[in-house]
Amino acid sequence: MRVIIYPTKLKGRLKAPASKSLTLRAIAAATLSKGTSIINNASLCGDAMVAINIAKALGTTVAINGDTLTITGNFSAAETSFSVGESGLCMRMFAPIATLLGTPVHITGESSLLQRPMQMIDEALAQSGASCKLMRNTDTVAWRVEGSLKGGKLLIDGHETSQALTGLLMALPLASADSEIYVQNLAGKGYVELTIQLLRQFGVVIQKQHEGYYKIRGGQSYKAKEYFVEGDWSGAAFLLAAAALSGEITIRNLFGNTKQPDSSVLKILTLANAPVSVSEQEVFLRKPQGLLRAFNFDASDSPDLAPPLAALAAHCKGTSTIYGIQRLKIKESNRAEVLQQEFARIGVRIDLTENTMKIHGGTLTVGEEPVYAHNDHRIAMALAVAACSANKPLTIEGAECVSKSYPAFFTDLQKLGVKVIIDD
């Protein structure tokens, strides 16, 4: 899909997209619960639909009514195979859960998952009586999960992602024995807190002794409940950056007391001279009268903020620095290199080192050639945000990938008055 974004002064009021991270975790928790759970304000993005199909494969009944999911848990081997699509979280979360079935399960995924680290799942499961073996390397990638998760003491490395830990925290409470997890070099600490908070709401208790050390009582049970999904700070960050560049916006359903790590975007916007007004459930931001200022940001625990902040930094006066970019290499694309490559097409210089990105701000000079999303939803959205305040319209090729996390992104830009031409 080709999308053309015209420079526009945007203005309006929107509801934030529902959190993909929380929706996926809630679907997994409801799948493991006895009884019927209702998930309100659920995301229906591509990854969420993958999780819904996995839940069905695991014996669960799922009914969709608007943005409400009614999930009746019946965790069983209804099928002995399922697909995780391109969702790294679904793979890392449902693989440990699948070992609770006590029967071999075949998991398939899109080949892009081969570029993302998965070996830590097998390394962790092997310590507790199960395994997750890569079966082949073709157009689709496949794993065979077998054995039975028993609990015990596990030592894992978390420097690349916290998602494997999330899967273990969801599965081990149902193991027969108690567990202790020691995590070295834990990245994404905020997402672990998000998981623990959600599990508590579904009746499962994780004891965090200290950072990187968790005790989990075995033999627990999930309790079905009604759950409301917060707005997604990861997706909202793109809208806030767009408003800081060109206009004003009010975003509803964003909670100031959230555990979502990407709410840290508020601090960066303020540093960039785009102060925001935050009330209990909404955020307001208007483009500042003065120039946007360069900023520094450590993305170690919020790597998904790097793309919208790169778009913001491209318009700031001076050079902005984003540290902790090592995890950008293992997303849907190598985001650091792709941001450097595609922003260079519109006159923005980005310098990269092993762990640092420097964005030299200025005026975007859009030419006749298009830019490319590289099948990465956050790259497509970052380019669209940057284009809102460019010198001329920008054409983005492959923009359909936004459906992975934020299907309504371009529609929402149109609601804010941005001229968007979509060519399917």
Catalytic residue numbers, as ranges: 304
341 CB-near residues (< 8 Å, 6+ apart):
none
What is the distance between the alpha carbons of residues 264 and 282, in angstroms, rounded to a whole number?
15
Residues 6+ apart with CB under 8 A from 165: 156, 158, 181, 183, 186, 192, 195
- Residues in CB range of 150: below 8 A, 6 or more apart: 128, 129, 130, 175, 176, 177
Report helix, strand or coil for 321: strand
Question: Hey, how many other C-beta atoms are within 10 angstroms of the C-beta on 211?
Answer: 10
Is the sign of the CA dihedral 345, 306, 280, 43 positive or negative? positive
> Please, what's the b/e burial string for 382-415 (b: 16 or more CB within 10 A of its CB; e: otherwise)?
bbbbbbbbbeeebbbbbbbbbbbbbbbbbebbbe
Q: Classify residue 139 as exposed, middle or buried by CB count within 10 Å of its CB (0-12, 13-18, 19+).
A: exposed
Q: What are phi and psi of 293, to 5 degrees?
A: -100, 150
What is the maximum alpha-carbon separation in the chain? 62
